[in-house]
Amino acid sequence: MRKDKENLEIAKRYLDSVREAKLNAIAIAYRVKELKTTSKKLIAVYQMESVGGNNKKMDISDYIVRIDEEVNKQLKAMQIYAKKEQEVKECIDNLEVEDKVKRVLSMRYLSFLKWADIASTCNYSLNHVYRLHVLGLNSVLIKIK
């Protein structure tokens, strides 16, 4: 029984890797947005100081380099997310199970729906959704091993 749970956790982690990749991409996107907002403020301060006659040199090139690095990280994270999503989608699509099992897995791990929303959308009981989910996890486990 314990071994079965551990195996199902392996399948869940594999399927949840899409969510993790998406969250990572979102976190980096927020970081890029914050850096860009801050850089606009720095540029405004720099322009105000240079108009005021002070000869203070304000070097924002390092900051621009940081923004570029974060943008590159964001692009890589988005590519990882897209690749992981495609991989998991193909895995689910190629399972040798009923379509309703695939539907539950897709709704949960690709559309990130809650169990109650899946049950409501598919007009299944919550227990039936859980049963289909376990069937799907067992099939995924066979596929990824």
Summarize pLDDT for 70-82 with one digit per residue, the tens.
889 889 999 999 9
The token duo for 36 is 């860009």
Domains in the chain, number: 1
Q: Which tens digit of pLDDT belongs to each residue from 20-46? A: 999 999 999 898 888 888 777 767 666
Look at 44-48, 61-65, 86-90, 131-135 and tell me which has the smallest mean pLDDT. 44-48
Residue 55 has pLDDT above 50, yes or no: no
The three-state secondary structure class of 53 is: coil
- pLDDT interval class at 2 (50, 70, 90): confident
d(CA 28, CA 131): 36
3-state secondary structure of 105: helix
Task: Return the minimum-mean-pLDDT range out of 29-38, 39-48, 93-102, 116-125.
Answer: 39-48
What CA–CA distance (Å, rounded) separates 26 from 39?
Answer: 20
Most confident of 5-9, 27-31, 122-126: 122-126
Q: Is the pLDDT of residue 3 over 90?
A: no
- DSSP 8-state secondary structure symbol assigned to residue 83: H
Return the number of other C-beta atoms located less than 10 Å from residue 78's C-beta.
Answer: 17
State residue 133's pLDDT score: 97
Interatomic CA distance for residues 81 and 72, integer angstroms: 14
pTM: 0.79
95: three-class secondary structure by DSSP: coil
Residue 61 CB: number of other CB atoms within 10 A? Answer: 7
- The Cα–Cα gap between 78 and 118 comes to 26
Which residues span the domain enclosing 53? 2-144
CA 124, 128, 131: angle at the middle one, nearest 5? 150
User: Does residue 92 or residue 40 have the better pLDDT?
Assistant: 92
Q: What confidence score (pLDDT) does residue 117 get?
A: 98
Query: 92 and 106 in contact (C-beta within 8 Å)?
Result: yes
